[in-house]
Chains A and B, each alone.
Chain A
């Protein structure tokens, strides 16, 4: 009977004194998410539903005074019977909770580096254990370079920007043409004739102001590739539309030790894989030689189903996000083959070639070559 007649509450104003003079334990019974946003320094955090399971171990001394708190004082008051049952002799609840505490100007600390706006924007990521707040922070600090803002680059860039990749680079010297708009969803009719890199930057910044977009209004060449790759990119998404650029990017990425998420498309079919230098094969291990030009038509010559780059570019974004987060099984050493007509996804193995001229045991190509000649000469 004595327990129920005792005053079971303490005001926020008196709490600091009780903590310092009586060595009271401050116990936060709110959810993990609430704790991350703000909590009282020095408090012990155990969500209410876990009290019975965890409190006895973390606070074995039953005679030590306990002050529970929550947001406004309701849950903490309701937690007292549980503490009584566990044998704690002197447990009280802080009136008004952390809200009252903060109104008094008392200090709180946050274990969240994300402000409220970001926590809201990325809330669906924060809810996934594999991503969570640490993962989202990682994305916000990651740097991803896209070669091409065309069919593959469009969906990849949009999803990477939406996901909160902090810095996105775009290499493209082309301008928006009406025939691009059937699939290149980064650009729109009002942007006809505009540089794709600029049009892309506008679309991405409008989508997510957290993203810094770096544009390179130039074609990737042996002369500029070292400068561009040297700008601190963690990985590259390859959406190039020609073989010389792909072989050039391969050699440069091996020498710069930067992973490449590769994608290519034609008509109804696409290929996706990840080249991680020295850990898996490179593009030359997979395809030592490009096909002769007459067997390598571009989309401009052979056509492509508008949604196909949407599928393949999104698969590339998926691989890029996994690499940036360090989760899952990236498609390293595996080439995914998508067939839109058959609605089929096949997979073949790709192994490192010990005789690869670039990443093999005894490289024979150690500096940039004439890639146009390499891709046309037979």
Chain B
């Protein structure tokens, strides 16, 4: 299992969960597993199996866009962070 961190603005889609274990050997497999269980999340960030541009995905602290994209390998026991921009300074 890999731990996926859910940003506060996407927790409505995960029933309030901030950290969800998911399985897969690549980011794509991980997102397939995760969003398969949370369809509202799929709708938001992974419609038709494509990652929405406003969400960054970090595997071990590296943005997958600078790695192998959705084919970036993920590690058993590792952490993946989903991160959209936050506006607030208020």
Contact = CB atoms under 8 A, between A and B. Distances in A.
Nearest to B10: A295
Chain A CB within 10 Å, residue with most, of B9, B63, B86: B86
A298 B61 contact: no
Interface in A271-295: 271, 286-292, 295
Interface residues of A, number: 46
B54 A291 contact: yes
Q: Determine chain A's interface SS by DSSP, over half rule.
A: mixed
Contacts of B83: 337, 348
Interface in A255-283: 263-271
B89 A348 contact: no
A308 to B, nearest CB: 9
A264 B9 CA distance: 13
A295 B84 contact: yes
A264 B85 contact: yes
Nearest to B84: A291
A291 B84 CA distance: 7
Contacts of B85: 243, 246, 264, 286-287, 290-291, 296
Interface in B36-90: 44, 53-56, 58, 61-63, 66, 81, 83-90
Contacts, number: 107
A310 interface: no
Contact of A298 (B10, B56, B84, B87): B87
Contact of A349 (B8, B18, B62, B86): B62
B9 A337 contact: no
17 contacts: A147-B89, A148-B89, A150-B89, A238-B89, A240-B87, A241-B88, A265-B88, A268-B8, A271-B86, A291-B9, A295-B54, A296-B84, A296-B85, A297-B9, A304-B88, A309-B90, A346-B81
Given A296-B84, A350-B63, 19 more contacts: A151-B89, A238-B89, A264-B85, A264-B86, A269-B86, A288-B53, A289-B54, A290-B54, A292-B54, A296-B85, A298-B90, A299-B88, A302-B88, A309-B90, A337-B83, A346-B61, A348-B56, A348-B58, A349-B58
